[in-house]
Chain A
Amino acid sequence: MRLAQIFLFICLLPVVAAAADKLEIHDAWARETPPKASVMAGYLTLYNPSPEVYTLVRLSSPDFKRVEMHRTEQHDGMHKMLPVPQLTLSSKGRATFQPGGMHLMLIGPKKRLKAGDNVTLALFFSDGSSMKIILPVKKATANTDRTMHNNQHHSHSQQH
């Protein structure tokens, strides 16, 4: 009895907290696509409330061939998508993926996902930890897109 308690206590001792235990995910969703679309966009907000610095290095999903991070940029009146190889979250740092900005490229869906379905996503961090999250698929309206645009600095208040 006593031994078991000591063992449990040791297991719960914070060594160095892993990214996956510390980071918060908010407002995660994926945009429903027209039929036969080859790629889908995913959005979410990552928040790092801890004093550590964490780096998101890779993503994957059993529902897609490949997942990448991208940024939509406007240069010279042109729209451009640029890959974001990895994402560093400073202490108290926040990264927002939202329509018209940073987004997750969910490439090569294994089947068509519609509003009401879920995308399972795994996030891998440089400290070797990983985290599994769910992105509900939603049909966007001008309002969901617009709310996401406007809420970029206080995405916490936004519920989807």
Chain B
Amino acid sequence: MTQPVKITLSLIISILLIGTATYLAQQSANTTPGNEARLATPKPLTAFQLTAHDLKPLNIERLKGKWTLLFFGYTHCPDVCPTTLTELTQVAEQLPPEILNNTQFVLVSVDPQRDSPESLAEYVSYFNESFLGATGSIGALTAFTRQLDSKFSLETDPAGEPVVNHSSAMLLIDPQARYYARFKAPHYAEEIRAQYLALRNSYSPTTP
């Protein structure tokens, strides 16, 4: 073999090897999606009261009997909140109907001064008619975020504009209103969907 051919061949072989290794690594990572997101012990939520965009309360009762994918944000957020909602729109579109039927998607606004339930209604339904928006008093929001190991802060920048910071994780709450899993950002539809389905598949309501 001539030198260039040898080099080319060994290049091709190493590319193939790297490719295979990467593929195998992804495969093994894909065998148990969701497991790393699940809490060691699901955490039952305690009473809380927020207001949903339909002006009915969002409380423990409303979480029971359904799986809930919930995240924190605010409607004056132009970049990351709509990006997450766009990913969730795709999750909703790609879930089998029987699973979609007992899944609710919730955006909790941590900016209650600017986000009324009415404005949330318009905002979330732009992404998907079935999505739920909710907010509440600062006190109620603080207590609720704390239950979900999340946080937010409201500040004012030098120009007097409100600055809202909030946890980026997405939370999964099981049909017994237990905080069940936590998905870290960035959020991608395929990953959320795969992890969610895997967690549901391995779910047994009786085991902690």
Contact = CB atoms under 8 A, between A and B. Distances in A.
B90 A78 contact: no
A140 B168 contact: no
Given A77-B184, A142-B86, A142-B87, A35 B79 contact: no
Nearest to B161: A107
**Interface SS of B by simple majority:** mixed
A78 B167 contact: yes
Interface in A60-91: 70, 72, 74, 77-81, 83
A37 interface: yes
A33 interface: yes
Interface residues of A, number: 30
Interface stretch (B37-45, B54-62, B185-193, B195-203): B185-193
A36 B77 CA distance: 13
A100 B188 contact: no
Interface string B155-184: 001000001011111000000000000001
A31 interface: yes
Interface residues on B, range: 20 to 34
A136 interface: no
B186 A100 contact: yes
B123 interface: yes
Most chain A beta carbons < 10 A, residue from B89, B127, B157, B185: B185
Given A78-B165, A80-B165, A141-B86, A72 B79 contact: yes
A100 B84 CA distance: 9
A58 interface: no
B78 interface: yes
A105 interface: yes
A34 B165 contact: no
A94 interface: no
Nearest to B94: A142
B126 interface: yes
Contact of B82 (A41, A70, A78): A41
Given A31-B78, A149-B186, A79 B168 contact: yes
Given A37-B75, A74-B185, A77-B169, A100 B83 contact: yes
A145 interface: yes
B81 to A, nearest CB: 8
A40 interface: yes
A126 interface: no
Contact of B80 (A34, A39, A79): A79
Contacts of A34: 75, 122-123, 126-127
B66 interface: no
Given A31-B79, A79-B185, 12 more contacts: A33-B78, A33-B126, A34-B127, A35-B122, A37-B76, A38-B76, A41-B78, A72-B80, A79-B168, A141-B90, A142-B87, A145-B87
Interface of B: 75-80, 82-83, 86-87, 89-90, 119, 122-123, 126-127, 151, 153, 157, 163, 165-169, 184-186, 188-189
**Interface pairs A-B: 5 shortest CB-CB:** A34-B126, A41-B78, A142-B90, A79-B168, A39-B78
